Every structure is written in structure tokens, then in C-alpha cells.
Structure 1
Amino acid sequence: MHMDQELENTFLRALEQHQQKLLRICSVYAEDADDKKDLFQEAVINIWQAMPSFQEKASLGTWMFRITLNVCLRLQSKQEKKRTRFLKMDSITIENIEPEAPHTEDHERLIKLRACIKKLNDADRAVITLYLEELPYREISEITGLTENHVAVMVKRIKDKLLNCIIERS
């Protein structure tokens, strides 16, 4: 019983600490606010169920990000098989802007960025999502299973892709 309580406390502390990042990761793969909540709930369930197997080879936060990303990619794959249209995506930074906010130059750039991120393949979208969460390359490497050097090369390549896409939309 004591161990279960300790495990639960560790889980709750980690969830509180990383909840906003996990939600933003889910928002990249969600169609709307309800879908984001569903993805987040599914990720939390998966994290809780996997807690007894956590081996501290990575930080608890890194491990939670990996599970969340895998849940999002797995569910996205299932959804794509059920329909032919593209998924809509909420930008991880757009949610901080009020919907009624005037269309400022920054807001317009964020809309363009969101549209360009939406065009990326799953691997690029996963890497740039974690990069935008300001995770270090080492941690992105642990989450994705890519080498740190490969992550760095991908981030540079993805930034170039996004810049070209944004320029084309201007």
C-alpha cells in the first residue's frame, strides 16, 4: 500500500509539473479543443498505466513526453485511416491568443506558422513540436529515439522548410 501511494504521489507531482507541455503536444495533433482533451486524457491514462515500469533511464518528464507523443501519433494514425481529409491542428502557441484578438502582425505570423507545421510529415512535426517546447536536443533525442546530431540536423532542415513555407504564404 505504501508503495502505491508513493507511486501515485510521484505521478501527480509529475503531471502537475508537465501538464501544460503535455497539453500543448496534444494540441498539435488535435482537431479541436475536445479532441485535445481526449488525447490528453488518453496520454494520462497511458502514463499512469506505465508508471510501475518507469526505470529512470530518462527523466520522468522526458518519459511522459515520449508516451504522450506516441499516443498522439498512434491515435492520429487510426483517425487518418478512418477519413481522407487532413487533420486540423492547433498551434502550440496560438492557444494563448484570445480568439477575438485583433489580427496583429504576430498573430498573422502564428497562423502562417500553424498552416506550415500542418504540412510537415509526422517525424518532422514531432521534432519541431518538442523543439518549440524548448526541450534540449538531448531530451528530444531520448523521446524520439533519434541521435542528438540527427535531431539538430532535422531542426535546422525543418526551420528552413517552415521559413520557405511562410515566405511563400506572404
Structure 2
Amino acid sequence: MARGTQPQERFGELLEQHRGIVFKVANTYGFHADDRADLAQEIAAQLWRAFPGYDAERPFSTWMYRIALNVAISHVRSTAHRGRHSIPLDETLHDIADDNGANHETDQQVRTLHRFIAQLDKLNRALLLLYLEDQSYRQIAEILGISETNVATKISRLKQRIRNEI
């Protein structure tokens, strides 16, 4: 922590620098606009509660991903129990699709990929999200608490499934 910087200020700075992580995880695991907003808020709140235990010797983004993914997975479990686990793909994808409707084929590929991702179990969904974020195998392993070899194997299998199913 920088000299003279209050923990609240430091947390705010780090959250602002890495806020994209919150939105990426919320958009991946929240299936409705309201769910995504609630999830992003819950992730930020949990990050704040956990911040006193953050080890500044480790990358903040790794710590942040781990907490964000844990909150998101818990969120999916709780919404599934309330019967809200259906996936309205058109609503989820409207933010991604080009407003001008320029490339229908690309839009269709994105929809197909999102359907594939939505059907993955929580570990593979998190793994794919981190892989698509260009995280290294070592970072993915640390965030998910699995070995680098396991990460490599799972990513290879996911790639093959994508080739076969999409």
C-alpha cells in the first residue's frame, strides 16, 4: 500500500483499475440485466469485505478474479434455486450484437458460442472466461485452485468440444 494512502482509497484505486473483471464475470454469470447489475454490486461488496485479507505481494487481479468467480458461482446457485436459471440469449447478447446489424454471420457465431458457454459447468465456464481473457495457465491455476497441467488438459478438451459442437 502506498505511504499515507488509506485502505479505502487504495481499494477504490485498485477496484477502478480492474473494474473490467467485475463486469466480465457479472456478464458471464448473470443471465438477466437485473441479475448482472446485482451480481456486479455483490462482487464489489464482497471484494470490499475481503480486502483487509488481501496479500499485496500477490497480483490484485488474481485475487479479484478468485473472489468474483466465487461470488458469481454462489449467485448462480441461489438464482437456480429460485427458478431463474433459464437463459434468455437474446437479452444476454443484445449488448454484444452490432446495432447496425452489419454482420449477421458473426452475430450468429457469438450467439452459438454464448449458448455453448452457458451450458458449461461452473469450473469450465470460469476456465474458459479466464482463457479468453488471455490469462496465463499459471494465473488460471492460481485463481481456480487447480494445477497448471489440469488447466492445460481442460482447455485442450474445451477447444475440442468447441470444434465439435460449434
Using the size of structure 2 for normalisation, the TM-score is 0.87
Give the equivalent residue in structure 2 for 1:112: 112
Q: Secondary structure at the match of 2:111?
A: helix
Shift of 1:98: 3.4
Q: Secondary structure at the match of 2:66?
A: helix
- The alignment covers a number of residue pairs equal to 163
- Report the Cα distance in structure 1 between the residues aligned to 2:88 and 2:136, rounded to whole angstroms: 27
Code of the aligned partner of 1:86: S
CA contact (8 A) 1:30 1:39 kept: yes
CA contact (8 A) 1:11 1:48 kept: yes
Using the size of structure 1 for normalisation, the TM-score is 0.85
CA contact (8 A) 1:21 1:133 kept: no
Shift of 1:37: 1.2
Please list the CA deviations of residues 90-138 of structure 1 after superposition, one character each: whole Å capped at 9, or x if unmatched.
46xx734334524432221111111111111111111001111111111
Would you identify which runs of 4 or more consecutive aligned residues in structure 1 move more than 4 Å? none
- Report the Cα distance in structure 2 between the residues aligned to 1:21 and 1:50, rounded to whole angstroms: 16
State the percentage of identical aligned residues.
29
Give the equivalent residue in structure 1 for 2:86: 86
Q: Which runs of 5+ in 1 are unaligned?
A: none
Shift of 1:87: 3.9
Quickly say closer, same or farther: Cα 1:34–1:131, change in 2 above 3 A.
Answer: same
Q: Which runs of 5+ in 2 are unaligned?
A: none
RMSD over aligned Cα atoms? 2.3
Greater RCO (Cα-Cα under 8 Å, separation 6 or more): 1
CA contact (8 A) 1:127 1:140 kept: yes
Q: Secondary structure at the match of 2:18?
A: helix
| Match status 1:61 vs 2:61 | yes
Code of the aligned partner of 1:117: I
Shift of 1:84: 7.1
User: Residues 1-170 of structure 1 correspond to what in structure 2 (within 5 A)?
Assistant: 5-56=5-56, 58-83=58-83, 85-88=85-88, 90=92, 95-166=95-166
- Report the Cα distance in structure 1 between the residues aligned to 2:114 and 2:99, rounded to whole angstroms: 15
Shift of 1:29: 0.7
- Report the Cα distance in structure 1 between the residues aligned to 2:78 and 2:151, rounded to whole angstroms: 26
CA contact (8 A) 2:79 2:85 kept: no
